Amino acid sequence: MAFKIAYLYLKRQSRTGSGKRMARNKRHVEQKIKREEIEAVAMALFKEQGYEKTSMSSVAKAAGVAANTIYWYYANKDDLLIAVLNREVMQAMPQVIAMQNAPLTERVLKLIEQFESSGSLMTDVHSRVSHSEVVRNWHDRFHQMVEQLSVSELIKAGLEPAAAQLDARLMVYVIEGLLAHPHTMEERVQVVEHALGKLV
C-alpha cells in the first residue's frame, strides 16, 4: 500500500511539472508530448555528458526546438533535471510495486537497481542541493518518500514505529551509499542483507 501511495504522489508531481497546471486541450497534449521528448533527450545527454557539461541549448537542439523555446517548458536546467528525475522514478515505481509481496531484501535490491538506471543523476542532485532551492526541495521530498516506504516495510516486518523511523533513515543512507560508490553485485547483496539483518 505504501508503494502505491508513493507512486500516486510522484504521478501527481510529474503531471504538474514545475508547478504550472495547464488546461487539458489539444495544446496541452502537444506540450505534454514535447515535454516527454525534451526529457528523454535531456536524460540521454545528462547520462552521456554529465549534468554540468550539458547546456540547455544542446538539449533544445537535440530535441528539435529553438534554444529559447525550451524555457517555455522549464525555467532553468535545475527545473529540467527535476522533471527528468520525476520521470525516472515514475518509470521505476510500477516494477517496485509489482514486487510488494516479495521478500524485503529482493524489493530493496530492485529499488536500488531501478534508481541505478538514472546513472550519475543522484550524484548530480547531491552536488546541486546547496546551490539550488528547487533541487534541495526535490531531494528532501525524495528522502521523505523513501523513508516513509521504509518505515511501512519495517513495521510490517515487526519493528516498533519509533524504532522503524530511525532504522528507515539508516536504510536510506545504505541505499544512497550503494548508489554512490562502485561495488560488485555480490557486495551489494551482502550489504543489503547485513543491513536488514541488523534492522529487522
Give pLDDT tens digits for 128-177: 999 999 999 998 988 888 888 888 888 888 888 888 888 888 888 898 88
User: Is residue 197 over pLDDT 90?
Assistant: no
What is the pLDDT confidence band of residue 5, given thresholds at 50, 70 and 90? very low
Cα-based distances in Å from 193 to 106, 156, 175: 9, 17, 12
To the nearest whole percent, how much of the chain has pLDDT over 90?
A: 34
Stated pTM of the model: 0.76
pLDDT of residue 54: 95
Residue 131 CA to its chain's centroid (Å): 19
The residue whose grid cell reads 529553438 is 66
Q: Which of 96, 113, 132, 127 is nearest to 183 (CA)?
A: 113
Give pLDDT tens digits for 79-128: 999 999 888 888 777 777 788 788 888 888 888 887 777 767 878 888 89
Summarize the confidence of residues 31-43 as an average pLDDT: 92
